[in-house]
Amino acid sequence: MALPPWEAPYVSVIVPVMNEKRTLARVLREASRVHPSTEVIAVVNGSTDGSLQIARSSGARVLVFDRPLGHDVGRAIGAREALGQVLLFIDADMVIPASMLRPFVAAVESGTDVALNDYSGPTRRETVHGVVLAKHALNSLLGRPDLQGASLTAVPHALSRKALETIGSPALAVPPLAHAIAVHRGLEVRRARHVDVGLINPLRIKRERVNSLEPLIIGDHLEAIRWLRANTDDRGGHEDGIRKRSMVR
Amino acid sequence: MQHPNGTLAELKAHVRRQWALLARQKLPLPEWQLMWKQAEAYGTAALSGAEVPGTFVPIPLQGSAAAVLAVPSDADSYPKVIDSLALLPLDETIVVAGRASEPLLEAIRRNAEGALIAHYPFPLDGDVGRALGAKLTGADTVLFVDAAASVPAETLGRFLWECDDGRLDVALPDQSSPKRLFHKRPAVQRWHELLNVTLSRPDLKMNTMAARPFALSRGALDAIGYADLAVPVKAHALALAKRLKVGVAVRMDATSPPTEGEASRLAAGDHIEAWGALMPSKGGRLGFSDRYRDRKAVGGVVNDAFLDSHSDE
């Protein structure tokens, strides 16, 4: 990166990478164009397909792990190392043009702390995917039904530095947990722009059918609920109406 | 209402026993609708033979049955559901009312012959009322109904039937419909649905004990306990966690879920409480494991201390 050494980047783009040589070069190139002052952080983990070389020659900051870190852990590690005032999170298997990423950065620049992908998944049906269900249910439990199915579980999304400090980087490894913390602690959480990840990455949809992430993400949402309880009360801070429970034993 | 040979209740009990013997002579029993019609024909003819007007449907239950009706304090009209209950082969009818008006209580006494009426001089939450009512009966199957809704007797009978024959411990109203799409459904139903998913019963969709009517077997009542019955969402979660036979009895429009305001917030609290009640035994992820994340690489995530004390299933 051609930045003078004393100038901190304004935007950090965090990209976890595990064997993504097909798309990686293009992803990193688009990432570097989101803002004139950008650092791209590639968190290469468990990669054996030459992704590491691609990341190194791209000019990105590269963090290397010889083992897979597992889902979303790379995001937490990248965030910990980031220097920017705005942190943008994307995936390495999905090429999103810089022009579609900039609105996330712009949203944070104009006061949003958590700028979400305005993507709720397909909901005009009787039964939706469990992940879509969990996202909608969590948002309404958190008192933010207006967020619909938008969640830190989906990329792209951007955080302000204040959001990172409020949430703490480790929680980013469990995105629904980070999401619950952000909303509950009163950060400005907004839907920034619609990016249809389903259209951009049909391959991922196919993989989801074979090796579903649904149980992992459902468990993540339960962790979010568990956190909410631990930080409020048994009822998540909700009232108990006119019940006189002591009458029934 | 005296019958020459005793009370109407005694007559009905006699008709019930007779029809149960007759109907079960030819097994298997016919499917529900035919069985209902046959029972209705026999029961009504038997009453008329005793020169008692009216309809009676002695579906051939094997165990005893009771209905619990909670009448909220703001109810001003006579609960029509009592007329439906009168057609069913119930051993007990229990009405729990909180600060009901004297004319209303009088109307209930008149129409629900032999009903046990528990009246409290203060406003009573419906869920607490039903839990109190459940404590007052020892029946093998207990049907829980709502004063506000008028439900046909045949629909109510179906709930008793599904528990009585052992297919279900918890018989729920099926509120799902291919025409009721996700994006149009209220948040409360999404929580019901997520609760079912997190207990590995996505097939139950948004169906829940928080909607009435529903029926419980004696086994379900014993397993859940009366105190938790006062929070139906929690009772539902416990029924699933205890692996009771939970399923739908019949498709119907049950009591409508709250869409906003206090009732909705109450439901949010109920769900969080329900999940919380499961976590001590099933872990913070309820067995939805996370084997591949290297959480130590980030120094641990906030809930980890809690999660680590529970091995995943």
The enclosing domain of A175 has a CATH number of 3.90.550.10
ipTM: 0.94
Q: Which of residues 97-126 of B touch A (CB under 8 A)?
A: 123-125
Q: State how many domains chain B has.
A: 2
Mark whether B24 and B173 lie in a shared domain.
no
Residue B167 lies in a domain: yes
Token output for B206: 């948004």
Residues in chain B within 8 Å Cβ distance of A173: 293, 295, 298, 301
Query: Please, which residues bridge with residue B69 across strands?
Result: B95, B145
Mark whether B125 and B180 lie in a shared domain.
yes
Mark whether B151 and B202 lie in a shared domain.
yes
Out of B135, B262, B288, name the one closest to residue A219 (CB).
B288
Local confidence band at B5 (pLDDT 50, 70, 90 cut-offs)? low
Q: Does residue A154 contact residue A197 with C-beta atoms inside 8 Å? A: yes
Give B149: exposed, middle or buried? Use CB within 10 Å, 0-12, 13-18, 19+: middle
How do residues A40-59 score in pLDDT, each as one tens digit?
Answer: 999 999 999 999 999 999 99
Residue A242 lies in a domain: no
Summarize the confidence of residues B259-272 as an average pLDDT.
Answer: 89
Of A92, A109, A75, which Cα lies nearest the Cα of A29? A92
Residue B56 lies in a domain: no
Residue A29 lies in a domain: yes
* CA nearest to B279 within chain A: A226
Please tell me whether the peptide bond between A156 and the residue prior to it is cis, using omega within 30 degrees of 0.
Answer: yes
Among A106-110, B4-8, B47-51, B195-199, where is mean pLDDT lowest?
B4-8
**Whole-number Å distance between alpha carbons of A149 and A140:** 10
Chain B: closest CA distance from residue A19 (Å)? 16
What are the C-alpha distances in Å from A34 to residues A39, A100, B58?
10, 9, 74
Give me the domain span that covers residue A28. Answer: 11-234
Residue B214 lies in a domain: yes
Residue B112 lies in a domain: yes
Residue A35 lies in a domain: yes
**Whole-number Å distance between alpha carbons of B236 and A120:** 28
Summarize the confidence of residues B129-157 as an average pLDDT.
Answer: 95
CATH number (domain holding residue B233):
3.90.550.10
Q: Which of residues 51-80 of B touch A (CB under 8 A)?
A: none
Contact B182 A80 (CB under 8 A): no
pLDDT at B114: 84
Q: Is the pLDDT of residue B3 over 90?
A: no
Q: Is the pLDDT of residue B1 over 50?
A: no
Residue A244 lies in a domain: no
Give me the domain span that covers residue B156. Answer: 65-276
Give me the percent of chain B exceeding a pLDDT of 90: 73
Q: Is the pLDDT of residue B308 over 50?
A: no
Mark whether B33 and B69 lie in a shared domain.
no
Q: Does residue A72 contact residue A45 with C-beta atoms inside 8 Å? A: no
Determine the 3-state secondary structure of A78 from DSSP: helix
Residues 6+ apart with CB under 8 A from B240: B196, B199, B201, B246
DSSP B243: T
DSSP A92: T
Chain B: closest CA distance from residue A172 (Å)? 8
Residues 6+ apart with CB under 8 A from A42: A15, A17, A24, A28, A55, A58, A60, A61, A62, A63, A92
Mark whether B154 and B72 lie in a shared domain.
yes
**Whole-number Å distance between alpha carbons of A76 and A73:** 5
Mark whether B73 and B15 lie in a shared domain.
no
Mark whether B17 and B89 lie in a shared domain.
no
Summarize the confidence of residues B174-185 as an average pLDDT.
Answer: 93
Mark whether B270 and B215 lie in a shared domain.
yes
Chain A: closest CA distance from residue B102 (Å)? 22
Q: Which of residues 179-238 of B touch A (CB under 8 A)?
A: 180-183, 187, 190-191, 193-194, 197-198, 202, 205, 226-227, 229-231
How do residues B71-120 score in pLDDT, each as one tens digit?
Answer: 977 766 788 999 999 999 999 999 999 888 888 889 888 888 789 999 99
Contact B301 A125 (CB under 8 A): no
Residue B300 lies in a domain: no
Q: Is the pLDDT of residue B15 over 90?
A: yes
Best A71, A77, A242, A249 member to test B by mutation, with max B CBs in 10 Å, is: A242
pLDDT at B123: 87
Residue A91 lies in a domain: yes
Chain A: closest CA distance from residue B149 (Å)? 21
Mark whether B145 and B248 lie in a shared domain.
yes
Mark whether B89 and B166 lie in a shared domain.
yes
Mark whether B127 and B17 lie in a shared domain.
no
Residue B293 lies in a domain: no
For tokens 């090796």, what's the residue? A211
Q: Is the pLDDT of residue A210 over 70?
A: no
Best A179, A222, A239 member to test B by mutation, with max B CBs in 10 Å, is: A222
Average predicted confidence (pLDDT) for chain B: 91
Of B44, B256, B75, B46, which Cα lies nearest the Cα of B153? B44
pLDDT at B6: 79
Give me the percent of chain B exceeding a pLDDT of 70: 95
Q: Is the pLDDT of residue A1 over 60?
A: no
Determine the 3-state secondary structure of A120 from DSSP: coil
Q: What are phi and psi of B63, to 5 degrees?
A: -105, -175
pLDDT at A42: 98
Residue A2 lies in a domain: no
Q: Does residue A149 contact residue A119 with C-beta atoms inside 8 Å? A: yes
Q: Is the pLDDT of residue B309 over 50?
A: no
What are the C-alpha distances in Å from A221 to residues A104, A177, A237, B126?
24, 7, 18, 31
Q: Which of residues 270-299 of B touch A (CB under 8 A)?
A: 270-273, 275-276, 279, 284-286, 288-290, 292-295, 297-299
Mark whether B208 and B75 lie in a shared domain.
yes
Q: Does residue A78 contact residue A173 with C-beta atoms inside 8 Å? A: no
The helix (H) or strand (E) run that includes residue B117 is: strand B116-120
Residue A97 lies in a domain: yes
Q: Is the pLDDT of residue A2 over 80?
A: no
Residue B91 lies in a domain: yes
Residue B309 lies in a domain: no
Q: State how many domains chain A has.
A: 1
Residue A17 lies in a domain: yes
Q: Is the pLDDT of residue B244 over 80?
A: yes
pLDDT at B311: 45
H-type alpha helices, chain A: 24-32, 51-57, 73-81, 98-109, 130-141, 161-167, 175-184, 197-200, 202-210, 214-230
Contact A134 B307 (CB under 8 A): no
* CA nearest to A171 within chain B: B301
Q: Is the pLDDT of residue A71 over 90?
A: yes
